[in-house]
A and B are shown apart, each in its own frame.
Chain A
């Protein structure tokens, strides 16, 4: 593979707003809120930022097109600002832009911002969007839950798991995220729920009930990145570096080709393999300390455990039920509540995941801090739908790990 960017880029500072129904704030105000925390954490001035990337997915109902909204909101010094959109992976995409700019030497300090203001759309759930002139003529008009729910039917058929067993495992995913979110003051949902509540919730898209689905939130998250050398020169001692950053994008094979069983994400498997190689990780199940994955729906998190090569194929549901991914389990997943409870402002989510890993690595996660010192934090950010998607994986860790 290419030489990779392992340890070439350090995170200088990060910030994240409270996610939720932010009726009082516009998208530009949310960006400022996340930025204030990040720039304070970084200990630099705005004028020191050389380049910026903005991730947002719903421009028509959000902040509008181009990089201008970010430049205006933060009053950046006429630097280059690029807006990126890659469905729900837009947050990690903005991070990739900033990280690559630093890794290439084109920028000393770069900023990544992700934001979404979904509660101004009026929808419960994501708004209905066009997918382009030609696709709209032949594609389905489904919802996000409907697209992802199909993973469950395929998973059951492929691995011979009963409807009840899978529903129990899916419910465990949601119960765990609620328990974790309850300890997170920035989370959108901070209330624990019981298995019974999850199992008996109204059906959204068979077999996904209300509690199998993450909601939609307003929020922003921000990262400021630089080289480890500059970070040290700026006085940082606990340096968190990027160990791997990989994106894999569907080329149409899943749906148009044959061979895919519909029960997994080929892109995640590919991106994970490349990310572990870039980071020098040989046994992810034992080496990864923490995971933030794209749990847009409970079933997504469950199959992702297999796609990330953590659980054996067809056995992710057993690991889930065994508590392997619980906050006090072997490999906590969504220790901050995940998309399910921290919330899912589309463009911000990828950066929010990295933010949690960053806090945990620095021991700054408060009541939800993992007691075992984390070494590698993996974030998995997914855009699109099972049969056509973008998978972005970022692994961060201590510079000397």
Chain B
């Protein structure tokens, strides 16, 4: 039986207040007032589709044996690399075995659902479990409607054949080159067409038609659908689709418009991950998505749902929240406002690719060493143990640290060193069971840091090599709560 066997998600902690966006831009775009409600999730400067996918993956793989995975798929239209496999970076960060397949899927807002279907079909064809990730860091022009309605997030679904929590009942898809918006290669921003045309000729006819045809294909009435996922936050769209298909309004799943914003290729699966948190056995969930065609997937929740719990899940991440009303700060962290960064920002962050490859487990996977003789844990792993009483030579085995809780030993909030988001907070930390490192802190309030505070590690952008357009990733320590 093919289906979803585990799920997870990631929503960045910072929530940009739409009223603040409107207040800053109303002189130029007063028409956005109608959208100036609620908040949207914004990735920090050190987050992107890769780092968010990693967090969603970790959320999903809670209590899952990672060595059993056959493949990692990453769907996004905002991948940081065009030619360096993004899913490959995620695979290293999740410390998965090298004998694994990895794949980036992109090119459409449907990338999330189309790749999910491919994963389900691969499993049905005999593949081992596939970790399906979708992540989006959406880039919108200041004072645009997109800036108001979009959001950053990631989802993770572990697809497999053993004891699924939601089995795939059926699927339907159409492809048509309906260009509601587009983004050319190398361009940062979308160019879009009129909203009413998209709503009526695109969503209404193409997606609406696909839902109708899918229900016929499945032999079901709309009334058989318990939950309808429409990853479009435009007001009234989901309601119109439900009405046309005979699906009860109560089945419409919250599109997270007021809390996250529409997260592009990740949104349908993000909503699915959220719906699964409260889903009951026997419920039918219809997942739809739209983008140069439509995808329709029908799942039925099984009894196994009771045993599947992500580490945080969408609800957990939504509760981990900090309001941001500083629109200028948002613009700066987004790379949309050039501040005088000073000389300390001039550091050359060139990465020796040889050394990155040699140290990939330590750098991307946060794998340290454990002495097989004394049990001493250390980071990084070295040829000679750091144990002062026994400098044993070449006794260290790989010892993953990323999932271990840690605590603060020393800290500071540094206003001198360059950080896109000053002050730069960092300090030495100690992992439960041993092992220490100096770590930058992520998502932390300078006033709230204390020696002994509990931490969790998060995969983040460490620095950007602006000369060569390369991103340096590493792990940072964030408050455990």
B339 at the interface (CB under 8 A from A): no
Q: List which B409-444 residues lie within 8 A (CB) of chain A.
A: 409-418, 423-424, 426-428, 430, 434, 436-440
Chain A residues near B410: list those with CB within 8 A: 150-151, 153-154, 262, 386
Verify A157–B446 contact, CB threshold 8 A. no
Verify B388–A141 contact, CB threshold 8 A. no
Given A143-B416, A205-B415, A253-B388, A137–B347 Cβ distance below 8 Å? no
B424: contacting residue among A138, A146, A150, A154, CB under 8 A: A146
Chain B residues near A141: list those with CB within 8 A: 347, 417-418, 424, 463
A74 at the interface (CB under 8 A from B): no
- 1/0 contact string of A252-265 vs chain B (CB within 8 Å): 11011111011000
Verify B428–A150 contact, CB threshold 8 A. yes
Chain A nearest CB, measured from B437 CB (Å): 7
Most chain B beta-carbon neighbours within 10 Å: one of A125, A204, A256 = A256
Verify B436–A257 contact, CB threshold 8 A. yes
A23 at the interface (CB under 8 A from B): no
A206 at the interface (CB under 8 A from B): yes
- 1/0 contact string of B346-360 vs chain A (CB within 8 Å): 111101100110010
Verify B347–A128 contact, CB threshold 8 A. yes
C-alpha gap A63/B344 in the complex (Å): 21
Chain B residues near A286: list those with CB within 8 A: none
Nearest to B352 among chain A residues (CB) is A133
A257: contacting residue among B348, B378, B438, CB under 8 A: B378
Verify B388–A138 contact, CB threshold 8 A. no
C-alpha gap A134/B351 in the complex (Å): 9
- Give the interface size bracket for B toward A: 35 or more
B376 at the interface (CB under 8 A from A): yes
Given A150-B427, A253-B388, A258-B430, A138–B412 Cβ distance below 8 Å? no
Chain A residues near B33: list those with CB within 8 A: none
B363 at the interface (CB under 8 A from A): yes
Chain B residues near A154: list those with CB within 8 A: 409-410, 451
Chain B residues near A253: list those with CB within 8 A: 386, 388
B168 at the interface (CB under 8 A from A): no
Verify B426–A140 contact, CB threshold 8 A. yes
B343 at the interface (CB under 8 A from A): yes
Given A134-B355, A153-B451, A387–B414 Cβ distance below 8 Å? no
Chain A residues near B388: list those with CB within 8 A: 253, 257, 259
Q: List which A138-175 residues lie within 8 A (CB) of chain B.
A: 138-143, 145-147, 149-154, 156-157
Chain A residues near B355: list those with CB within 8 A: 133-134, 137
Q: List which A231-263 residues lie within 8 A (CB) of chain B.
A: 251-253, 255-259, 261-262
A367 at the interface (CB under 8 A from B): no
Given A134-B355, A137-B359, A205-B416, A150–B386 Cβ distance below 8 Å? no
Most chain B beta-carbon neighbours within 10 Å: one of A136, A149, A156, A387 = A136
B297 at the interface (CB under 8 A from A): no
Verify A204–B416 contact, CB threshold 8 A. yes
Chain B residues near A123: list those with CB within 8 A: 343-344
A142: contacting residue among B348, B352, B376, B414, CB under 8 A: B414
Verify B380–A138 contact, CB threshold 8 A. yes
B10 at the interface (CB under 8 A from A): no
C-alpha gap A157/B407 in the complex (Å): 13
Verify A137–B386 contact, CB threshold 8 A. no
Nearest to A388 among chain B residues (CB) is B438
C-alpha gap A261/B362 in the complex (Å): 24
Nearest to A154 among chain B residues (CB) is B410
Chain B residues near A205: list those with CB within 8 A: 412-417, 423
Chain A nearest CB, measured from B398 CB (Å): 16
Question: What total of chain A residues lie within 8 Å of the partner, measured CB to CB?
Answer: 44
Chain A residues near B351: list those with CB within 8 A: 137
Verify B413–A140 contact, CB threshold 8 A. no
B144 at the interface (CB under 8 A from A): no
Chain A residues near B417: list those with CB within 8 A: 128, 141-143, 146, 205
Verify A157–B452 contact, CB threshold 8 A. yes
Nearest to A148 among chain B residues (CB) is B412
A203 at the interface (CB under 8 A from B): yes
Verify B436–A146 contact, CB threshold 8 A. no
Chain B residues near A147: list those with CB within 8 A: 412
C-alpha gap A262/B439 in the complex (Å): 14
C-alpha gap A146/B333 in the complex (Å): 22
Chain A nearest CB, measured from B352 CB (Å): 4
Verify B438–A387 contact, CB threshold 8 A. yes
Verify B347–A138 contact, CB threshold 8 A. no
C-alpha gap A206/B436 in the complex (Å): 22
C-alpha gap A315/B351 in the complex (Å): 45
C-alpha gap A136/B426 in the complex (Å): 15
C-alpha gap A157/B430 in the complex (Å): 15
Given A141-B418, A204-B416, A153–B436 Cβ distance below 8 Å? no
Given A157-B451, A253-B388, A257-B386, A146–B412 Cβ distance below 8 Å? yes
C-alpha gap A286/B348 in the complex (Å): 50
Verify B378–A206 contact, CB threshold 8 A. no
Q: List which A203-235 residues lie within 8 A (CB) of chain B.
A: 203-206, 208
C-alpha gap A142/B474 in the complex (Å): 15
C-alpha gap A346/B282 in the complex (Å): 72
Chain A nearest CB, measured from B447 CB (Å): 9
B472 at the interface (CB under 8 A from A): yes
Q: List which A105-145 residues lie within 8 A (CB) of chain B.
A: 122-123, 125, 127-128, 130, 133-134, 136-143, 145
Chain B nearest CB, measured from A360 CB (Å): 34
Verify B363–A138 contact, CB threshold 8 A. yes
C-alpha gap A353/B380 in the complex (Å): 36
Chain A residues near B414: list those with CB within 8 A: 142-143, 145-146, 149, 204-206
Nearest to B473 among chain A residues (CB) is A137
C-alpha gap A152/B451 in the complex (Å): 11
C-alpha gap A152/B382 in the complex (Å): 30
A122: contacting residue among B343, B359, B379, B436, CB under 8 A: B343
Chain A residues near B315: list those with CB within 8 A: none
Chain A residues near B437: list those with CB within 8 A: 138, 255
Given A137-B356, A137-B474, A145–B416 Cβ distance below 8 Å? yes
Chain B residues near A151: list those with CB within 8 A: 410
C-alpha gap A261/B410 in the complex (Å): 8
Chain B nearest CB, measured from A37 CB (Å): 34
Verify B379–A256 contact, CB threshold 8 A. yes
Chain B residues near A125: list those with CB within 8 A: 416
B472: contacting residue among A137, A156, A257, A259, CB under 8 A: A137
C-alpha gap A337/B347 in the complex (Å): 32
Verify A256–B436 contact, CB threshold 8 A. yes
C-alpha gap A157/B362 in the complex (Å): 30
B332 at the interface (CB under 8 A from A): no
Most chain B beta-carbon neighbours within 10 Å: one of A140, A152, A253, A261 = A140
B63 at the interface (CB under 8 A from A): no
Q: List which B372-426 residues lie within 8 A (CB) of chain A.
A: 376, 378-380, 382, 386-388, 409-418, 423-424, 426
C-alpha gap A123/B414 in the complex (Å): 16
Nearest to B440 among chain A residues (CB) is A140
Chain A nearest CB, measured from B21 CB (Å): 30
The 9 sampled A-B contact pairs (Cβ below 8 Å) are A137-B351, A138-B359, A138-B474, A142-B424, A142-B426, A143-B417, A150-B412, A151-B410, A255-B428
* Additional A-B contacts beyond A203-B413, A387-B438 (17; CB < 8 A): A122-B343, A128-B344, A141-B424, A142-B424, A143-B417, A146-B424, A150-B412, A154-B451, A204-B414, A205-B417, A206-B412, A252-B382, A253-B386, A255-B437, A256-B380, A256-B382, A258-B434
Q: Which 3 A-B pairs have the closest CB atoms?
A: A146-B414, A150-B410, A149-B412
